[in-house]
């Protein structure tokens, strides 16, 4: 009897260990909310392939498996806040820090000012924006300094996710400048060339053809981008992402995968 019980015990122990190994090898699946980007007719534009490359990097490094869900940015934030998944490409603000748990910064990006027409305004500091109307995407924050100055130093006009419509509003003088984060470029002439010879050509809109937009000589703000979850949700996933960021910066693999991401 003892021998039978001992044999049964060993079988159960082996089965438990085996199941544990299987479960340990399983990837944790979770929804990942991404920002939509629309054309002038409100159709979803294809995401930059570089975004998928970056997300695949984090899947390999963390063992997570992302279900990509593209939503209007405010809705993506709301879905994250009720615990339906995590969000990527999120920047900090005073309000967000109260409700969201942020990962370590995936990257730091420069936030430039875009203007149209002559004379070209000289916006060099936040104080230069006093009383101005600043165009941003709906539901966007561009970091803590931007957040502290909005509706105090300058007035924020939140526009749709359509890139083309934002440029047209700037041309129509419905805003004084448009703020736009760009990664990878440090010189304003490179940023200006990027806008006028890539973004506008990609837009392929007759109203923008031949138009020239100006870029501030220096970034107006610095912002950091993160993964984030609602506080009390997915803390284990954020911890895995943090570990991947720290190790990736240490061994150089994260800067390498981010190279060329504008």
pLDDT digits (tens, 9 = 90+) for 103-145: 999 999 999 999 999 999 999 999 999 999 999 988 888 989 9
* CA separation for the pair 78, 83 (Å, rounded): 9
Which pLDDT value is given to residue 160? 66
Across the range 52-76, mean pLDDT stands at 96
Whether 161 has a pLDDT exceeding 80, the answer reads no
Common-topology check for domains 26-107+224-258 and 109-222: yes
Whole-Å CA distances, 221 to 11, 89, 127, 142, 158: 62, 16, 12, 7, 17
Fold of 26-107+224-258: D-Maltodextrin-Binding Protein; domain 2 (3.40.190)
What CATH number is given for 109-222 in this structure? Answer: 3.40.190.10
pTM: 0.78
Query: Residue 41 corresponds to which tokens in the numbers above?
Result: 């007719």
Which pLDDT value is given to residue 10? 46
Whether 85 has a pLDDT exceeding 80, the answer reads yes
Contacts of 56 (CB under 8 A, 6+ apart): none
So where are the chain's domains?
26-107+224-258, 109-222
Whether 46 has a pLDDT exceeding 70, the answer reads yes
Which pLDDT value is given to residue 76? 96
* CA separation for the pair 69, 77 (Å, rounded): 12
- Give the pLDDT band of residue 45 (cuts 50, 70, 90): confident
Whether 9 has a pLDDT exceeding 80, the answer reads no
Q: Are 236 and 103 in contact (CB under 8 A)?
A: no
Across the range 151-166, mean pLDDT stands at 84
Please write the tens of the pLDDT for every residue from 168-199. Answer: 889 999 999 999 888 878 899 999 998 888 88
- Give the pLDDT band of residue 208 (cuts 50, 70, 90): confident
The answer to which of 16-30, 32-46, 107-121 has the lowest mean pLDDT is 16-30
């Amino acid at each position: 009897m003892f021998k039978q019980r001992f044999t049964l015990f060993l079988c159960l122990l082996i089965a438990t260990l085996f199941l544990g190994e299987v479960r340990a090898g399983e990837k944790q699946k979770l929804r990942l909310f991404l920002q939509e980007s629309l054309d002038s007719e409100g159709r979803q534009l294809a995401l930059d392939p570089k975004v998928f490359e970056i997300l695949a990097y984090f899947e390999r490094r963390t063992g997570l498996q992302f279900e990509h869900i593209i939503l209007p940015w405010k809705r993506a934030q709301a879905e994250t806040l009720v615990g339906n998944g995590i969000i990527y490409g999120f920047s900090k603000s005073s309000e967000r820090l109260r409700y969201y748990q942020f990962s370590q910064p995936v990257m730091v990006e420069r936030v430039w000012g875009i203007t149209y027409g002559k004379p070209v305004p000289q916006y060099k500091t936040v104080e230069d924006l006093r009383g101005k109307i600043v165009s941003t995407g709906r539901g966007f924050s561009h970091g803590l300094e931007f957040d502290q100055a909005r509706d105090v130093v300058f007035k924020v006009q939140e526009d749709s996710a359509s890139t083309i419509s934002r440029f047209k509003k700037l041309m129509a003088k419905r805003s004084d400048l448009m703020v736009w984060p760009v990664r990878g470029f440090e010189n304003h002439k490179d940023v200006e060339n990027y806008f006028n010879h890539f973004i506008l050509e990609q837009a392929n809109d007759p109203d923008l053809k031949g138009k020239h937009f100006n870029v501030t000589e220096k970034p107006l703000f610095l912002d950091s981008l993160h993964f984030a979850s609602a506080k009390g949700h997915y803390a284990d996933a954020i911890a895995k992402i943090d570990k991947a960021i720290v190790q990736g910066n240490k061994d150089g693999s994260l800067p390498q995968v981010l190279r060329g991401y504008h």
